[in-house]
Structure 1
Amino acid sequence: MDDIAPSVTPRRCRMSEMARFSEVLRLFKSRAAFLSHLRTLFFEERGGSGRYRYLAVAVFLLIADIGLGGLLVSFVLGKDQQICHNVSVRCLAILRNSTFSLSGVLDWLMGNPVGLKLNKELAATLGTFFKHHISLWQMYINALTSIWEDCGYFVCSAGLMGVSVQMALLTDIIALFTIHIHCFYIYMGRLYNMQLRGLLALGRLFRGKKWNPLRERVDHIPRSVDQLFVGSMLLTIMLFLLPTVLTFYVVFATLHVAVKVLQIPVILVSRWLEFCFRFG
């Protein structure tokens, strides 16, 4: 028993980490904890009439969630599943068009966007790098498209488990089909952060200071002419490259925020039961 017990905690940690990236897993985890809480209240001897009132409201809201999901499924799958088919075709068309739109954004960034004089070599390198990822993303989209065509009916009928489950699944689908934008944002965020840290370190060098990670403080260091010469060269290069990196970062951060804003109303609908019990 002692050998088995330590393996439980890492497994729970892995489930918690997975729930952070999937709205469906997070919802099932929250729903399981909620049902366990209702079970505890049902068999609890204390609480009086307030406990039964809480249980009645909880059961009513769960039934309402499933009922609303059933109405949504009957609407989407009605008329020989025409609405579900039209929505699927429309979503796939938007995904294919977004590929060309994103390639157009990269071509715009590789030129002179809004009259900005960016570094052509760095802009061309970043643009080529992201276009290669777009080509990989197209293969990823083709694989997801085939899966969508086979599982489209299941996706549309997920509302039978509740409207919150349907919306959580829609949130995960949006995240899956826009994962390239998230990756581009992460790439440029790391590059921009590295460049800012480099400029900050060079600024400390010219003032005769250096960050000490062991003691977590800024220490004074002796400076030499060679260090100042190399530092001035690196500072000049990084300052001239900063507008290009900043422009790419702002564009991809804007696209990332747009995707998150698109997910907000869907997430709110998927969590409406939690809001009712938390603020009700």
Structure 2
Amino acid sequence: MQKVLPVLWPKDLSCEVGGYCIGWTRPVICVAGVLYVDSRNDAESILSSVQLSDESAQLSCGSSPRVIGRFTGLDVKRRLVIELHDSEATTLQVIFYQRPNLRYMEIYALDFHIYDFATPKSRARYPTKSPLAFIMHDFTSPTVTPSSLGPEVLNQMNLGAFLDQSLRRRVHLTPHRNVWLYFASLQRSSHRIVAKVFQTTLLFTNWGDGNLVNGVRAIFALFNMIFATAQQVDVRVEQIVSIPSQSRRIYNAAGPPTSHSISRYVNFWNEIWLILNDIIIGSALGSFLCENSETLSSLLHSKLEYSLIDLPQHALIWLNNWPAGLKLNTELSRFYCHSLLGIVAVWGEVLRWIIFPHLPSIIYAIGLLGSLGLTMSVSALSDLLGIVTLHLHICYIMSAAVFSQQLTISGSLWNLFRGKRYNVLRKRKDSWDYDVDQLVLGTILFTLVAFLSPTIITYYALFALARLIIVLFHAGLDTILVLMNHFPLFALLLRIKSPLRMPGGFTFRLAEHGSVPLIQIQSIPFSRIFDHYVYLGSRLAAHYHPLRLIRVLLGGGRMSSIPRSYIRLRSVQNRGDAGAYREKP
């Protein structure tokens, strides 16, 4: 019984003229191209010249390329006739495959991700193991031969066009191809010149070697934890400094494209597009703010003064006068009212005499920052919101600290009455026999806590609600920052314009009605383009989730906006494992 061998044949290869087939024989016969020469020795000499060049290391995939056999043409039934060398098989199963266009960075890939790194969530949804690995571990399936499609075969199909071009360059160069190669080399050299000029400029200003960058980051280390504007400046500086190195890695890379090179290409141009769109939108918004700074200031002045100064003072006075018949502890309520009113009054004077008179200038400055990008204006607005609400934040911290201590005391007294005690060494609650004096003291403390609880809870609820509203405003601004900094705009447009440049595997079309089986590149699904953006959005949703905020409020925890480092894609990449994010109440 004759052995049937599958042969992968390029679909765009001419089948009218015979020649010698060049390609790989392991793990499956994969034809890269056909040399139209007179003898086998001529074909092997041309292939040897390619293997002796610098391109030989890139062409080795599972096995080295060789002269597979001689293609003689088509038979009566329009089937390919191939005479294999060093093979006893006479029956061949020809399978066409769509040869990638290397000029447009088209490849077969199973491990392609939009970014150079993959989050744990995306790795779980889209494993990078080959289909052969899964089949080999299935004990119920029949024995699978090594000729199944896997990473080596896909790499051979990717390198087929590259090998064919290398062979054709050594056979003959037509005038049209000479012109094309000239312009291609000119294009590569122009990219190198632009990257070199940009790198030299950065080195001249001491930005390229990283010394000044490290110094600036050392200065911004403290400000990054406090101000959103400093964090955004650090993001933009990091992106600008990385542009020359990314450009060199993309346009100076030798050989055919890979999934990692395409990821770097998409990352590079996605950052460029996001920066340009950020500047365009920010300039439009900034011009509006600069032209209408006086009008916006007059509209906001009275509303801000009433919301930030008058309303908290009225609310504190109202709570001190037994609101809605709720009889609070007089002495404790008076202490709360006078202390918090003093904080609100002091910061209110700062707002009235320093910030509000210069509100037109502040709005104008935010508009000027818009020329650097919308994200700079949004970051400055986030910092301004934190500054004008500083007194409410301080009042919230004080009331939350008292409320948290009250919950701790209540829990200790509850354990006392149940005859329990917390074991610090074993970190558990053990039974314990208390003395009569301890029980009496616990009863007295419980009485004090019970009578003071309504007053403490009332004032805490007021400023906790105010803090919740402020945090929700910060959540909206943080969402805009994530949208403008990490939206996969270029990847989305590239997926629409050239789907094959975003590989997501391959498809195998079976033979129907006398046709030949065909392997084609499958583009990446739209859902995978938004994987990392959805992951950052899930971090925002996890931090600002209503149930989490309610749990923090009821537990007396510190309610704050999300740290900027957790919504920054580059910091996730530097940490390597982005799944270690944990929220503290």
User: The TM-score by the shorter chain falls in which range?
Assistant: 0.7 to 0.9
Aligned residues: 267
Counterpart-to-counterpart distance in 1, 2:244 and 2:422: 55
Post-superposition shift, 1:114?
A: 3.4
Match of 2:350 among 140, 143, 146: 140
Sequence identity of aligned pairs in percent?
24
Post-superposition shift, 1:219?
A: 4.1
Q: Cα distance 1:212–1:65, how it changes in 2: closer, same or farther (>3 A)? A: same
Counterpart-to-counterpart distance in 2, 1:128 and 1:261: 28
Check whether the contact 1:185–1:252 (CA below 8 A) recurs between aligned residues: yes
Q: Cα distance 1:14–1:248, how it changes in 2: closer, same or farther (>3 A)? A: farther
Match in the other structure for 2:306: 97
Match of 2:380 among 160, 163, 169: 169
List runs of 5+ in structure 1 lacking aligned partners: 1-8
Match in the other structure for 1:73: 286
Q: Does 1:122 align with 2:332?
A: yes
| Code of the aligned partner of 2:417 | F
Structure 2 counterpart SS, 1:118: coil
Q: Cα distance 1:12–1:210, how it changes in 2: closer, same or farther (>3 A)? A: farther
Counterpart-to-counterpart distance in 2, 1:14 and 1:198: 42
Post-superposition shift, 1:175?
A: 1.0
Post-superposition shift, 1:185?
A: 1.4
Post-superposition shift, 1:230?
A: 1.2
Q: Deviations over 1:52-100 (max 9, x none)?
A: 444233212211110111111222223xxxx111222333322322311
Counterpart-to-counterpart distance in 2, 1:211 and 1:135: 43
Match in the other structure for 2:451: 240
Match in the other structure for 2:467: 256
Q: Deviations over 1:190-233 (max 9, x none)?
A: 11110011011112222333324354333444411111111101
Counterpart-to-counterpart distance in 2, 1:93 and 1:122: 32
Q: Does 1:60 align with 2:265?
A: no
Match in the other structure for 1:181: 392
| Code of the aligned partner of 1:25 | A
List runs of 5+ in structure 2 lacking aligned partners: 1-213, 254-259, 489-531, 535-585
Check whether the contact 1:209–1:219 (CA below 8 A) recurs between aligned residues: yes
| Code of the aligned partner of 1:73 | G
Match in the other structure for 1:20: 225
Structure 2 counterpart SS, 1:21: coil
Q: Cα distance 1:33–1:246, how it changes in 2: closer, same or farther (>3 A)? A: same
Post-superposition shift, 1:129?
A: 0.9
Counterpart-to-counterpart distance in 1, 2:298 and 2:316: 26
Counterpart-to-counterpart distance in 2, 1:15 and 1:215: 42
Post-superposition shift, 1:37?
A: 4.4
Match in the other structure for 1:88: 297
Q: Cα distance 1:211–1:13, how it changes in 2: closer, same or farther (>3 A)? A: farther
Post-superposition shift, 1:158?
A: 1.0
Q: Deviations over 1:118-171 (max 9, x none)?
A: 222221211111111112112331333355465553233110110111111011
Q: Cα distance 1:64–1:132, how it changes in 2: closer, same or farther (>3 A)? A: same
Q: Cα distance 1:118–1:20, how it changes in 2: closer, same or farther (>3 A)? A: same
Match of 2:478 among 256, 267, 271: 267
Q: Cα distance 1:199–1:279, how it changes in 2: closer, same or farther (>3 A)? A: closer
Post-superposition shift, 1:26?
A: 1.9
Match in the other structure for 1:6: none
Greater strand content: 2
Higher relative CO (CA 8 A, sep ≥ 6), structure 1 or 2?
1
Counterpart-to-counterpart distance in 1, 2:415 and 2:470: 38
Counterpart-to-counterpart distance in 2, 1:115 and 1:151: 44
Q: Cα distance 1:50–1:224, how it changes in 2: closer, same or farther (>3 A)? A: closer
Q: CA RMSD in A?
A: 2.7
Check whether the contact 1:165–1:270 (CA below 8 A) recurs between aligned residues: no
Q: Does 1:111 align with 2:300?
A: no
Alignment of 1:198-237 (within 5 A): 198-237=409-448
Match in the other structure for 1:279: 533
| Code of the aligned partner of 2:394 | C
Q: Cα distance 1:91–1:220, how it changes in 2: closer, same or farther (>3 A)? A: same
Check whether the contact 2:239–2:271 (CA below 8 A) recurs between aligned residues: no
| Code of the aligned partner of 1:119 | N
Counterpart-to-counterpart distance in 2, 1:127 and 1:222: 41
Q: Deviations over 1:7-49 (max 9, x none)?
A: xx9x979855532332112212233333444443222255545
The structure whose Rg is larger is 2
Structure 2 counterpart SS, 1:271: helix
